[in-house]
């Protein structure tokens, strides 16, 4: 979904399938912010046309893109894999945005590839989730070492455990999880914190491991919750009591999911 001046851009099509777009350029303010809450790659074409149109009309244009598409493909290991994040960044950079605002990028590779980047690390949303759980003894859990390094410094006043995943690179399947600092979990409520959730396999296996280690209620915070969460086991299991996320890619609704503002 793409918004301009807080209004959703709704393209139509000509009979041959090409886009028909109309954007008001009568504003006296010479600055525009395009908000892109990613739903599909086809929105790249709409973004391109709108940006070029605004810039040709003399506007300075910034992009608010909380979720970075292709963020997972931040490295390649085999010759048949395409470094899509790199090429996506080149596309965004070619549009010459004044600033590109993103939220909780998946890795430092993203930060290095985009020009004029401004990052919101997601701290206020994590703290909002903690506030809603309202447990002074709440323990944090980070599903891997990367998440541990990213978030434990933000939430330095709470004990934490973290996991080491054995994952198949090609399939993405998790073979197992080893808990580190397991002793802080027993008898406590636990909040899992990470950046992206697809079908929730990582968090499903994490919650199983946490429960086996003696955790009470297990909660989940992810900055970017994809709609594909409904295709996984996590949402229908009783392992996670509640899920917190932000408005970036999640566009549906569920009684177990709260979108933080």
Report yes or no: 223 and 195 within 8 Å, Cβ to Cβ: yes
- Intrachain domains 2-120 and 123-260 with the same fold: yes
| pTM of the predicted protein model | 0.89
Task: DSSP for 61-118, please give it.
Answer: EEEE-SS-TTTT-S---STT---HHHHHHHHHHHTT-S-EEEES-SSHHHHHHSTTEE
What's 122's DSSP letter? S
Sheet with 139-142, side-by-side order of all strands? 174-180, 160-167, 139-142, 190-197, 218-225, 242-246, 257-260
Tens digit of pLDDT for each residue in 206-240? 999 999 999 999 999 999 999 999 999 999 999 99
Residue ranges per domain, the chain?
Answer: 2-120, 123-260
Note the CATH architecture for domain 2-120: 3-Layer(aba) Sandwich (3.40)
Tens digit of pLDDT for each residue in 115-166? 999 999 999 999 999 999 999 999 999 999 989 999 999 999 999 999 987 7
Q: Is 51 exposed, middle or buried (0-12, 13-18, 19+ CB in 10 A)?
A: buried
The fold adopted by the segment(s) 123-260 is Rossmann fold (3.40.50)
């Amino acid at each position: 979904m793409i918004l301009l001046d807080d209004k959703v851009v709704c393209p139509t099509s000509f009979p041959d399938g090409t886009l028909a777009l109309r954007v008001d350029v009568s504003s006296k303010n010479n600055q525009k912010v395009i908000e892109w809450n990613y739903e599909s790659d086809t929105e790249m074409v709409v973004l391109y046309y709108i940006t070029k149109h605004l810039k040709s009309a003399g506007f300075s244009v910034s992009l608010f893109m909380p979720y970075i598409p292709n963020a997972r493909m931040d490295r390649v290991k085999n010759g048949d894999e395409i470094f899509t994040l790199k090429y996506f960044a080149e596309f965004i950079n070619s549009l010459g945005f004044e600033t590109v605002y993103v939220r909780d990028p998946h890795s430092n590779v993203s930060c290095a590839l985009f020009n004029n980047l401004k990052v919101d690390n997601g701290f206020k949303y994590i703290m909002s989730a903690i506030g809603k759980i309202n447990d002074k003894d709440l323990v944090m859990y980070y599903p891997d070492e990367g998440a541990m390094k990213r978030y434990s410094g933000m939430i330095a006043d709470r004990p934490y455990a973290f996991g080491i995943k054995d994952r198949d690179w090609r399939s993405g399947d998790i073979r197992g999880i080893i808990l580190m600092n397991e002793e802080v979990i027993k008898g406590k409520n636990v909040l899992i914190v990470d950046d992206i959730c697809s079908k929730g396999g990582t968090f499903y296996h994490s919650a199983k491991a946490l429960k086996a280690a003696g955790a009470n209620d297990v909660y989940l915070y992810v900055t970017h919750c994809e709609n594909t969460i409904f295709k996984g086991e996590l949402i229908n299991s009783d392992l996670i009591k509640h899920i917190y996320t932000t408005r970036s890619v999640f566009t549906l609704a569920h009684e177990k999911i709260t979108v933080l503002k």
